[in-house]
Amino acid sequence: MKITFYRDRCIGCNYCVEAWPERWQMSKRDGKCVLIGGKKKGKLYHAEAGEFEREYNERAAQACPVDAIRINK
């Protein structure tokens, strides 16, 4: 599965970390979230993750109030 993270939109609410801390972590540098294992391309971050993570990452995406997380179908 592929995860895309629009980091500019993040307001640091921490919901994704609550949903799946294995993949999402708050940065102490700027208070926004970090997609663990993500690679930056332009303004976006992309990461490949195992299917077993899908449910948790989808929960994170659903919880995100600023629609910053997209999971491929």
Partner 1 sequence: MKSNPKVGEFHSKEHFLKTEIMAPAGDWASLKAAIQGGADSVYFGIEQLNMRARASNNFTLADLPKIADVAREESIRTYLTLNTVLYDHDLPLMKKIIDAVKEHGITAIIAADQAAISYAARNGVEVHISTQANISNIEMVAFYSHFADVMVLARELSLGQMKKIVEGVKERDIRGPSGNLVQIEVFAHGALCMAVSGKCYLSLHTYNSSANRGACKQNCRHAYRVTNEEGEELLIDNEYIMSPKDLCTIDFLDQLLDTGIEVLKLEGRGRSPEYVKTVTRCYKEAAQAVADGTYTREKVDAWKKELEEVYNRGFWDGYYLGRKLGEWSRIHGSAATKEKRFIGKVLHYYPKAKVAHVRIKAGGFNRSDSLIIIGNKTGVAEPEIDSIWVGDRPADVVAKGEECTIRLDCVVNEGDKVYLWEDRD
Applying CB under 8 A, which residues contact partner 1?
Answer: 10-15, 26-32, 62-66
- Compute the least distance from the CB of residue 16 to partner 1, in Å: 11
User: Could you give the C-alpha distances from 60 to 24, 42, in angstroms and in order?
Assistant: 9, 22
Distance CA 40, CA 19 (A): 22
When the beta carbons of 30 and 48 are compared against partner 1, the nearer one is 30
- Compute the least distance from the CB of residue 2 to partner 1, in Å: 23
When the beta carbons of 37 and 66 are compared against partner 1, the nearer one is 66
Distance CA 27, CA 23 (A): 13
